[in-house]
Structure 1
Amino acid sequence: MIKLVAIDIDGTLVNEEKIMSEKVKATLQKAMKQGTKIVLCTGRPITGILPYVEELGMEKEEDFVISQNGAVITRTDTREIIEEWPMELAGIKEWYKLSKKFKPLFLVMNEEDFNLIVEPEEDVELEPALIAEGKIISMAVDVKTFEQLNSRYVKAVFFGEPNDLDELEAGIPEAMRENYSVVRSQVYLLEIAAKGIDKGTALKQLAQDLGFEREEVMAIGDGNNDYEMIEAAGLGVVMANGTERLKSIADELTLSNIEDGVAHAIEKFVLN
């Protein structure tokens, strides 16, 4: 019996307009009413998750979300961070140095800040596409030099054109790739986290904390950053719009995000 369902947001829970359909909403609320724990598990920061948490009514005791591609687990009723796996500042500096060799923009993020890193005295005008990305996750982009960083950051982000990110991804030294979690979460985003930190790591930790066995956990996703989450679950469900890499490890396939695929999967494997 499935007792916990981890669900990605973009490309999975919501449609291309970032809207959760009434059918998906009603189906998830029905599952929660019967006692199934729903956990949103996404690359977004908490600010970009809360609108869906509030819409679904997921603010009860022991409701949780997994954010930042698995680097943070938060209890939704109190907003208490119960697990966090930040990057070392030295590691961020290593990726910052690499970024100077390529075109994509380099940013760092935690649950409060989304910072574009620039050279001292560099005059930067934020790209409309980057501003739009900030709006999606309800977080304004700030501009800082590396020397101005004075907080804990859970991930670094490269933002740019797909071809430029292809070049960057191909140019990552093997030693750096082995020492960090590196994932192409979107065609325009390459994300870096501490080694071994991903959605699967966080899902296994949360399931363990809540006393659920792997066979009682289901995960639904569409992107390459959902790979470890799908592997970690006893039942891994991939959207019809998912990547071929993700589909290759799916236990089951469901409909696309514009066909209420999440609702279809919940009805098939949880409500029935």
Structure 2
Amino acid sequence: MFPLLNEFIEELMDLNQKKFAAFMVDLDGTLIGRDEKIAPRVAKTVRRLSEKIRVCIATGREPRDAIRFARELGLTSPQVCDNGALILDPTTGNEVWSAPPLGERQAHYIVTTLISRKVPFWATHPGGTVTQASQITHWNFTRVSALDVVEDVAEELLAHFRLHPELHVVKVFLPYNGLWAIDFTTRGVTKATAAKWLGRILGIDPANMIGAGDSYNDLPMLEVCGLRIAMGEAPDELKALADYVAPSVDDDGLAVAIEEFVLPRLI
């Protein structure tokens, strides 16, 4: 008589029956706030969660940031950076898995286009990061990001690159300054790719993972995770997919989500 209600009840029962074994959490706007720090309540709650299941940061930032925040929280599980292109051991800093690099032709095209438009960029490679043309000695980049642009410019860049057959291109909000970034990885390389590889490494099906994020680059990750959390300031696309919409990062939304929605499912 009430098919929609019955469908909702079945989905809720399915969520409650799953055995969740890992938590993938975005960094900016989810784990850390505009001040680029982990709030005390959030840190305490994430540490408590890490005593029960694996906790893996999944960020578009470079390796050093993923390692720094993982170590601050005492996390020992593999961590994801470069928007899903690299998985690292936070205790040693060593690479666990990496995606194919962008390739010389694609990397050159991206960087020269950004330089010609006077757009700041970061380009990461196995040996570090470059931010200026004068620092480039090769084109073996894992990920390139156009940084600190207003949304109109971000949309222009997205429109310019999005149909490129060899690139994955995504717009990302930067909570720490209110501007936007465009992340470039090899086509098919996203946070969802990293979730699947984490699953192989840890022996955990992504359906038994929990994902939490706040921006468009988190969408693929949430799509493959079995339980999905969107932050309060996330775009509507994430909220529509989420099983739980948390308060904003400014209101310790991640801690609230873990306390009210995640931990009760792990008992």
Per-residue deviation, 1:52 = 1.7
Per-residue deviation, 1:101 = 5.2
Contact 1:66 / 1:73 at 8 angstroms: preserved in 2?
A: yes
How many angstroms apart in 1 are the aligned matches of 2:161 and 2:75? Answer: 39
In structure 1, the residue matched to 2:169 is 182
In structure 1, the residue matched to 2:234 is 242
In structure 2, the residue matched to 1:69 is 83
- Percent of residue pairs identical: 24
Of 86, 111, 116, the residue aligned with 1:96 is 111
In structure 2, the residue matched to 1:208 is 200
Uncovered stretches (5+) of structure 1, i.e. residues with no partner: 119-142
Between 36-45 and 159-168, report the one with greater CA deviation: 159-168
Per-residue deviation, 1:72 = 0.2
Q: Does 2:256 correspond to 1:264?
A: yes
How many angstroms apart in 2 are the aligned matches of 1:76 and 1:172? Answer: 33
Q: CA RMSD in A?
A: 1.9
Per-residue deviation, 1:246 = 1.7
Contact 2:158 / 2:170 at 8 angstroms: preserved in 1?
A: no
Uncovered stretches (5+) of structure 2, i.e. residues with no partner: 1-18, 174-178
Per-residue deviation, 1:54 = 1.9
Per-residue deviation, 1:154 = 0.6
Aligned length: 239
> What is the letter of the counterpart of residue 167 of structure 2?
Y
> What is the letter of the counterpart of residue 111 of structure 2?
Y
Per-residue deviation, 1:102 = 2.9
In structure 2, the residue matched to 1:128 is none
Contact 1:45 / 1:110 at 8 angstroms: preserved in 2?
A: no
Q: Secondary structure, in 3 states, of the residue corresponding to 2:170? A: strand
Per-residue deviation, 1:188 = 2.6
Tell me the alpha carbon deviations over residues 204-250 of structure 1, each in whole angstroms, 9 at most, x when there is no partner: 11012211123321000001110101111001110011122222222
- Compared CA separation, residues 155 and 214, structure 1 to 2 (3 A): closer
How many angstroms apart in 2 are the aligned matches of 1:151 and 1:101? Answer: 17
Give the structure-1-normalised TM-score. Answer: 0.81
Of 102, 114, 122, the residue aligned with 1:87 is 102
Of 119, 133, 138, the residue aligned with 1:150 is 138
Per-residue deviation, 1:151 = 6.1
Per-residue deviation, 1:28 = 1.3
Contact 1:47 / 1:111 at 8 angstroms: preserved in 2?
A: no
Q: Does 2:156 correspond to 1:167?
A: yes
- Compared CA separation, residues 92 and 65, structure 1 to 2 (3 A): same
Tell me the alpha carbon deviations over residues 75-114 of structure 1, each in whole angstroms, 9 at most, x when there is no partner: 1222221111122112112223433553423442235432
Contact 1:179 / 1:195 at 8 angstroms: preserved in 2?
A: yes
How many angstroms apart in 2 are the aligned matches of 1:28 and 1:106? Answer: 31
1:13-162 equivalences in 2 (<5 Å): 13-33=31-51, 35-59=52-76, 63-85=77-99, 86-99=101-114, 102-110=117-125, 112-118=127-133, 143-144=134-135, 148-150=136-138, 152-162=140-150
Of structures 1 and 2, the one with the larger relative CO (CA 8 A, separation 6+) is 1
